[in-house]
Chains A and B, each alone.
Chain A
Amino acid sequence: MSEEDIKEEIKKLRNEIASLKEQLREAQERRKERGYKFYIDIGNNIRESVEDALESVAESIHGELEKSIFIGPRGVKIIKGKVSEKEEAAVDFSKTSEIMNALSHEHRLKILKELMSGGKYVNELQEKLQEITTSTLLSHLKILEEAGLVVQEKVRGRYLITMPGRTAYKMAFRVARFVEESDLE
């Protein structure tokens, strides 16, 4: 089929759609004249209606997200409000990236999980995570410490998970679970 033929076909289709719309409009007018109480307007407003409906759903989801709750081991925490544009603009992407990088290793997530139950010495972590060598463990702890997810006591030497570390771990865990639950296959 040549380009000219295609253009001609499209023109015919447009005319046909215009004709159908006109017939539909006339039919609706007749139904109104006949006094039908209910009729469905599927004419020119159909696109606006669908768009309105979608917007409504989007608003509803957004509203739910604004009052999302996080359920932790010690109860329910409600996130009040949303991140303001000012706060969003102040986000340090470099720091965010550092934190995400610190979380992006299975071993480091396992270390955080162990620290969730309380501060631990290196040998205690080593006992729990026998698949990791001591040097690798120390290297992972350094990355976690630099990201601010873990802090080491200088006197006793124990490693503790920080408040941001605990939050980051819980969020990573929730995202993973959310992805798993969202998989419909």
Chain B
Amino acid sequence: MIWHNYQLDDTVQKVREATTLWKAEKGIIEISKDTLAVLIKVNNNKIGCVFHGDGKLILDTIIETDEGAIGKPIEKEIEKPFIMIGNIEQFLQNLVVANRQDLAKKGYAEEREFIERAGDLCNRFFGESTRVHGCGTFEQGFLFAFTSGEISGLDMLITKDSKIVYKTRNMTFISNKNKIVLKTPGKTVLSNDGKSIVLNAQHSY
């Protein structure tokens, strides 16, 4: 699937009730009621959505090793617009057209403002993340792209079944069942069924 020629829907919608976009053993993404949404289309196929509301990302970037657990959970409030790519069909029934009041709650005077902001985010995403262009249709998985503060790069979360890849400026977390890689500025941990290699660890044995 080529995502360069994406289009944003011209209707801004909102989430009718709090929704869990993704949930797995190690993580969860939730958005609250009235979160704004605009669909992303490629060749008239709905491939994802840009959301803007109050959301939460929880990810247990923890590795269990024979010598104890390493890492800690990530818990982030998602207050800025973010992208979700994947099977959006399951969420469509929870979307209704947003009105001016809904837009005003997030500081938009009209639909076009939100669509333009969503477009800026999509341009950053499709422009920067050339590596994920060939990953497939994401029919069974999801890709999330979050803005991270003032930093220009995007935080990425890619999931499919029990597989997770989470990449930010400072850390990389890759998990596939019992095989896990965690890379932070302080250490790199490679783990397979509890047997682990810790590089540059602060704890000397």
Contact = CB atoms under 8 A, between A and B. Distances in A.
Interface of A: 70, 74, 77, 79-80, 118-119, 151-156, 160-167
Interface in B39-58: 58
- Judged by DSSP, the binding face of B is strand
A80 B204 CA distance: 9
A155 B204 contact: no
29 contacts: A70-B205, A74-B66, A79-B204, A79-B205, A119-B69, A151-B62, A151-B69, A153-B62, A153-B73, A154-B58, A154-B60, A154-B73, A155-B24, A155-B25, A155-B27, A155-B28, A155-B60, A155-B73, A156-B60, A160-B69, A162-B68, A162-B69, A163-B65, A163-B67, A163-B69, A164-B68, A166-B68, A167-B68, A167-B205
B205 A77 contact: yes
B66 to A, nearest CB: 6
Contacts of A156: 25, 60
A176 B27 CA distance: 40
Interface of B: 23-28, 58, 60, 62, 64-73, 75, 198, 201, 203-205
Contacts of B65: 163
Given A70-B205, A156-B25, 17 more contacts: A77-B205, A151-B69, A151-B72, A153-B62, A154-B58, A155-B24, A155-B26, A155-B58, A160-B69, A161-B69, A163-B68, A163-B69, A163-B70, A163-B198, A163-B201, A165-B68, A167-B203
A161 B67 CA distance: 9
B23, B28, B62, B65, most chain A CB atoms within 10 A: B62
A162 B201 CA distance: 13
Contacts of A80: 204
A164 B203 contact: yes
B68 A152 contact: no
A119 B64 CA distance: 8
Contacts of B70: 162-163
Nearest to A160: B69
A80 to B, nearest CB: 8
A151 B73 contact: yes
Nearest to B189: A163
B145 to A, nearest CB: 21
A151 B74 CA distance: 12
Contacts of A118: 64
A56 to B, nearest CB: 29
Contacts of B24: 155
A153 B75 CA distance: 11
A166 B67 contact: yes
Contacts of A70: 205
A79 B205 CA distance: 6
Given A153-B60, A155-B27, A161 B68 contact: yes
A154 B69 contact: no
B203 A163 contact: yes
Nearest to B28: A155
A156 B23 CA distance: 11
A167 B68 CA distance: 8
A145 to B, nearest CB: 10
Contacts of A167: 68, 203, 205
A143 to B, nearest CB: 17
Nearest to A163: B68
A153 B24 CA distance: 12
A151 B60 CA distance: 10
Contacts of A155: 23-28, 58, 60, 73
A164 B202 CA distance: 10
Nearest to A87: B204
